[in-house]
Structure 1
Amino acid sequence: MQTITTTEALAAFCAEAAGEPYVTVDTEFLRERTYYSKLCLVQLALPVTPADNANDRAVLVDPLVDGIDLAPLFDLMRNPAVTKVFHAARQDVEIFWIDGGVIPQPLFDTQIASMVCGFGEQAGYETLVRKIARANLDKTSRFTDWSHRPLTDAQKRYALADVTHLRVIYEHLAAELERNGRAHWLAEEMEVLSSPETYITRPEDAWQRIKTRGQSGKFMAAVKELARFREEMAQSRNIPRSRVFKDDAILEMASTRPDSHEALGRSRLLLREARRGEIADGILAAVRAAQAMPPEDWPVPLNGQNAQMQVNPALADLLRVLLKARSEESGVAQKLIANAADLDAIAAGQRDLSTLRGWRAELFGNDALRLCRGELALTAKGAQVRTIELPV
């Protein structure tokens, strides 16, 4: 098991990888004590022949070694001639974006590809290894501390397995996408993962993460300002949001709207360190900003927007039946095509939705609109749901 610990060795491997059609990639990181992920290990593997050993041309890169420069790796990630293959790529890609300012491209996510190819919703890596690579994974090192050195042999074997089996999975899924003509479906999904916007967290939008239990304008204004302050503090100190204060504390303060340190001291849910100093001052400033926010700027929670939609419940139920039928016919996971909120929005007359564009429109969206217009009907024969063209 080769572990790369120098910039020179990393550059040599990346130069070799530049001549290959693809490289499989995975990372190990820690995020329990930080806002941003701490990169602890990078795993890379290049294509092999059937005669090769599974661990041939597979390496571990140790980014925690003093003096190592990951620039050659970042150059490989931006090389347009080499496809970068991940499983469940979002967090890995975010690390490359935050640490190196690079989005790996072109990108292939085997989790999304497997959903397009009939492996169900969010098929786990272990499932794909078993079904496609015909192997089993040793999961004993899954929850180890990847920042601790030296790494054990068990950790190294576990980490390498995340990229060696991935070669077989990628080649199988890529061939299947070409066979069924759905390669462009995956390409559309990769556009989202390849956009820097996917990995930018703006403090002013942080309130949208909070599950609110009230919807009054002043309450929501306080939620927005408190969540904004928390996000800024967490980002600047590189600590988890919960270390500043938790979501339930936001809801409490949005209700009570404290106006002094004394009032903050009466909170039931604030951490002790949040009742004084910089955090306490920030909370009080956020509440004041919320109090001064004009009504036209008060945020409306998503569930509040849904409540305002005039959803035709019967039509929404028909859309659910159509979605289930299209999912079963195509083998594509329902969750990837549309969710419940999408169906309610269509039934309420909204049309600016991702499920009505691109490959989703081909598979489901176009027929969903025809169903809404009365041009299509549904009928059942046994366990199958079929569509019937209606005269217009």
Structure 2
Amino acid sequence: MITIKTTEALAAFCERATRHPYVTVDTEFLRERTYYSQLCLVQLAVPGDAEEDAVLVDPLAKGIDLAPLYALFKDESVVKVFHAARQDLEIFYIEGGVIPHPLFDTQVAAMVCGFGEQVGYETLVRKIAHESLDKTSRFTDWSRRPLTPAQEKYALADVTHLRVIYEYLRDELAKSGRKPWVEEEMKILTSPSTYVIEPENAWMRIKTRTTSGKFLAAVKELARFREGYAQSRNIPRNRVFKDDALSELASTKPRTEKDLSRSRLLLREARRGEIAEGILKAIEIAGDYAPEDMPKPDTSRDKLQVNPALADMLRVLLKAKSDSLGVAQKLIATTADLDMIAAGRRDVNALKGWRAEAFGNDALRMCQGELGLVARGQKIEVFEL
């Protein structure tokens, strides 16, 4: 088992990887105590059975520079293969300002190839590679050195079996003609906007029941302060204050530190110092919002005039299409998509791109009274009206 701890050794492996059609990639990281993930290990493998074809890269090794890896990620001749890539890609974008391309996510591909909703790596290893995984090292502390042999074995398995899984799914997509479907999904994963949280927009993540403009203005400014504070100090946002405390502050609108001391939900360390100052300043700014500048909740779904019978028929159609195509329902359309279609909306993801081919075009024809459904035994079939 090879562990790379120098820039020179990493450059040598990455140069050799450029001679192969693909490289499989995985990471181990910690995020419990930081805002951004702490990269602790990178696993890489190229096609082949030799020991040097699969390596561990120690990003915590003294003096190592990951620039050769980032150069490999930019090489258009080599497909970068991940499973459930989103968190890994976020790390590489934040750490190195790079998003691997071209990209292949085996979780997305497996959903297109009939392996169900959000299929796990362990399941694919069992069903495609016909191997089993020892998951006992999954939740260990990957920042501690030295790594144990069990940790190293576990980590390497995440990229060695991935070679078999990738080649199988790649060939299945070629046979089915659905490679463009997966490529369309990869455009979302490779967009930098997927991984950037702007403090200005952080309030949109907060779930509230109140639609008052003054309340939402306070929510927006408190969320903006919290996100910026957490990012600048690389601490989890909940370490600043939690969502329930944020909602409480937006309701009570404290003006002084004495007011903060009366909070039921605010952490003790947030009632004084920089955090307290930030909270009070946020409330002050929110109080100066002009009526026309106050945030407005998204009420578009509340105004939907959903035809419930049509929505139910669309759900049955989705299941029929999912079953016949062998594509996970969740990947094709969400419940919200179906409700919007049944309400007459046409700016819906399920009606665009490959989803239109798989489901959306027939959904529109059903809405127009051109298609019907019939039960034949255990199956639902679509027929022309």
Normalised-by-shorter TM-score class: over 0.9
Q: Does 1:112 align with 2:123?
A: no
Q: Does 1:3 align with 2:3?
A: yes
Q: Sort the Cα spacing of 1:290 and 1:310 in 2 relative to 1 into closer, same or farther, 3 A.
A: farther
Q: Which amino acid aligns with 1:10?
A: L
Alpha-carbon distance in structure 1 between the residues aligned to 2:159 and 2:247: 43
Alpha-carbon distance in structure 2 between the residues aligned to 1:161 and 1:365: 39
Q: Does 1:311 align with 2:306?
A: yes
Q: Sort the Cα spacing of 1:39 and 1:192 in 2 relative to 1 into closer, same or farther, 3 A.
A: same
Alpha-carbon distance in structure 2 between the residues aligned to 1:119 and 1:294: 52
1:1-392 equivalences under 5 Å are 1-48=1-48, 52=49, 55-302=51-298, 304-390=299-385
Alpha-carbon distance in structure 2 between the residues aligned to 1:366 and 1:82: 35
Q: Which amino acid aligns with 1:2?
A: I
RMSD: 1.3
Residue 91 of structure 1, CA deviation? 0.6
| Cα deviation code 1:195-236 (max 9, x no counterpart) | 111111111111121121322222222212211111111111
Residue 305 of structure 1, CA deviation? 3.0
Alpha-carbon distance in structure 2 between the residues aligned to 1:357 and 1:294: 38
| Cα deviation code 1:244-292 (max 9, x no counterpart) | 0001101111111212221111100000111111111111121222222
Q: Which amino acid aligns with 2:276?
A: A
Q: Sort the Cα spacing of 1:374 and 1:292 in 2 relative to 1 into closer, same or farther, 3 A.
A: farther
Q: Which runs of 5+ in 1 are unaligned?
A: none
Alpha-carbon distance in structure 2 between the residues aligned to 1:273 and 1:172: 53
Q: Which amino acid aligns with 1:333?
A: A
| Cα deviation code 1:5-24 (max 9, x no counterpart) | 11110010000001100000
Q: Which moved more, 1:254-263 or 1:196-205?
A: 254-263
Residue 56 of structure 1, CA deviation? 4.9
Q: Which amino acid aligns with 2:39?
A: L
Alpha-carbon distance in structure 2 between the residues aligned to 1:312 and 1:294: 38
| Cα deviation code 1:41-77 (max 9, x no counterpart) | 00000101xxx36x55100000101111110010001
Alpha-carbon distance in structure 2 between the residues aligned to 1:340 and 1:315: 13
Alpha-carbon distance in structure 2 between the residues aligned to 1:326 and 1:297: 45
Q: Which amino acid aligns with 2:283?
A: V
CA contact (8 A) 2:84 2:107 kept: yes
Alpha-carbon distance in structure 1 between the residues aligned to 2:291 and 2:357: 41
Q: Which runs of 5+ in 2 are unaligned?
A: none
Alpha-carbon distance in structure 1 between the residues aligned to 2:55 and 2:297: 47
Q: Which amino acid aligns with 2:35?
A: Y
Q: Which moved more, 1:120-129 or 1:257-266?
A: 257-266
Alpha-carbon distance in structure 2 between the residues aligned to 1:196 and 1:240: 21
For these two proteins, the number of residue pairs brought into alignment is: 385
Q: Which moved more, 1:130-139 or 1:216-225?
A: 216-225
Q: Which amino acid aligns with 2:325?
A: S
Alpha-carbon distance in structure 1 between the residues aligned to 2:327 and 2:352: 16
Q: Sort the Cα spacing of 1:310 and 1:290 in 2 relative to 1 into closer, same or farther, 3 A.
A: farther
TM (normalized to structure 2)?
0.97
TM (normalized to structure 1)?
0.95
Q: Which moved more, 1:333-342 or 1:369-378?
A: 369-378
